[in-house]
Structure 1
Amino acid sequence: MSFYTSLNGLKNAQTDLGVISNNIANAETNGFKKSTVSFADIIAGSAFTNPKLLLGIGATVEAINQNFKQGAIEQTGNALDLVVNGDGFFTTKSAVTGDTLYTRNGAFEIDDSGYLLRGGNRLQVFPTDTTGAVTGNTPQSVQIPATNAAGAQFAGVAVSKNGVITASYADGTNTAVGMVALATFLSPGGLRQEGSSNWTATGLSGAATYGQPDSGFYGGILSGALERSNVDLSEEMVGLITAQRNFQANAKAIDTATQISQTIINLRT
């Protein structure tokens, strides 16, 4: 039994090493959230077993938990680089599949059709009038007109703390085109990682609840900056050493069990 107990330990240490390695690999990935492994012990026994004689038979991976602590903020000077300074996720929708994705990476850009997007996924906003007052509660893709009603050409864009996106035109006029819609979840740890700092909702996370930036518990929007990974390399290196030692200890336990078995087999009467 000791072989299988230590084998479980080896597998668990390998899982821990894999998670830590992924964290370290994404130390420079904007909007990335680190993960940690939780383990649970395994007990062999039945309802009729004396509780004083219950035998542990190793451990198993209970969960790989995501840590949504905010990462460091890096100033970029680009007006379309956005940070949620607090709780909430940007909501984006794939222009190809229509899938809804949630992200903390606010590195948006304007495409040739005027949509704000990141990686092909369009930013979702609340509709507003030209002054920035919200006119609806259903998020939609934001599209900046190439010209205003007077025919003036688009000149630039700005995003305020409360999430209002304002387009500027060559004739000096400004027009609000939407307000960033922020999403929160009852259990963000249940979100499914999709890569590229994107998540999708699951039954564990619950459905998204939308709100306006800088109101209630929703964070404000900081323009001209990006949220970096929340990985602490010093902490990960310590975890890496610990996982390595656990792997070595379980391997040594297997070696010891092998020597004991060999000694028993070599016994002579």
Structure 2
Amino acid sequence: MSYYTSLTGLKNAQTDLNVISHNIANAETNGFKKSTTQFADIISSSVVTDPALSVGIGSRVAEIKQNFTSGAIEQTGNALDLAIGGEGFFATVSPGSGQTQFTRNGSFSIDDAGYIKNAEGGRLQIFPNVNGTVNTAAHQDALVAPKNAANSTLASVTIDQAGQVVASYDDGTSTNVGTVALANFTSPNGLKQVGDSSWKVTGKSGAASFGAPGSGAFGPINSGQLERSNVDIAEELVDLISAQRYFQANAKAIDTATQISQTVINLRT
């Protein structure tokens, strides 16, 4: 029994080491959110078992919990580098698959067609501006026309704290393209990680609720800034040492059980 009990500990320690290593590897990844491993004990019992004689038979991984606290803010000076000053996620849609992903990494740029996109090609979602009014009932791809009606070339794109995307042209005119759409969830910990500091909706997270920056619980948009990873290297290194000791202790328990078994075998022979 002691073999299997300690084996569960070894497996859990390996999982913990993997999670911590993943955190450390992404300490410089913009918008990355660290995770922690939560454990639970396993008890061998049935409806007829005397509570006073219940035996523990190890542990299991109960949850790998994501930590969505904000990371440090880095000044970049790039108008299309965006950081959310509070709650919310940027929504992006892949032009190929049509799938919607959510991220805190606000590093965007404009492609040749005029779409505002991230490094993976996902297009930033905005609320359309209808007759001067923001329509939050639906969102669409952020598209900036390379030229205006007067055939003037796009000069710059700015985004204010309210999320308004304004395109300026060489002839001095400007156009309000729309307002950045932010999303939030009832249970962010239920979101599924898909890599590239992005997440997808699951049944556990609940459906996304959209809103404009600075409204309700949504934070304002800070242009020229990026949110860095929320990984604390010093804290992760301490956790790494603790997980290593956890692994070594379980390995030692297996070694001790082996020695006892060998001693019993020798006595019988």
- TM-score range normalised by the length of the shorter chain: over 0.9
Would the aligned equivalents of 1:6 and 1:250 in 2 still touch at CA under 8 Å? yes
Structure 2 gap ranges (5+): none
Q: CA RMSD in A?
A: 1.1
C-alpha displacement of 1:268: 4.5
Query: What SS is found at the alignment partner of 1:258?
Result: helix
CA distance in 2: counterparts of 1:58 and 1:219, whole angstroms: 44
Question: Are 1:4 and 2:1 counterparts?
Answer: no
C-alpha displacement of 1:150: 2.3
1:43–1:152 Cα change, 3 Å:
same
List aligned pairs for 1:201-220, cutoff 5 A.
Answer: 201-220=201-220
- Share of identical aligned residues, percent? 62
Would the aligned equivalents of 2:136 and 2:212 in 1 still touch at CA under 8 Å? no
Q: Which amino acid aligns with 2:126?
A: V
Equivalence for 1:233: 233
C-alpha displacement of 1:136: 4.8
CA distance in 1: counterparts of 2:235 and 2:39, whole angstroms: 19
Q: Which amino acid aligns with 2:127?
A: F
Question: Are 1:190 and 2:187 counterparts?
Answer: no
Question: Are 1:171 and 2:171 counterparts?
Answer: yes
CA distance in 2: counterparts of 1:155 and 1:97, whole angstroms: 31
C-alpha displacement of 1:171: 1.3
Q: Which amino acid aligns with 1:220?
A: P
Structure 1 gap ranges (5+): none
Equivalence for 1:107: 107
Equivalence for 1:61: 61
1:161–1:53 Cα change, 3 Å:
same
CA distance in 2: counterparts of 1:256 and 1:214, whole angstroms: 60
Q: Tell me the number of residue pairs that the alignment of Structure 1 and Structure 2 aligns.
A: 268
C-alpha displacement of 1:174: 1.5
Would the aligned equivalents of 1:130 and 1:175 in 2 still touch at CA under 8 Å? no
C-alpha displacement of 1:149: 2.2
List aligned pairs for 1:31-46, cutoff 5 A.
Answer: 31-46=31-46
Q: Runs (4+) of structure 1 moved beyond 3 Å?
A: none
Query: What SS is found at the alignment partner of 1:13?
Result: helix
Structure-1-length-normalised TM-score = 0.98
List aligned pairs for 1:147-162, cutoff 5 A.
Answer: 147-162=147-162
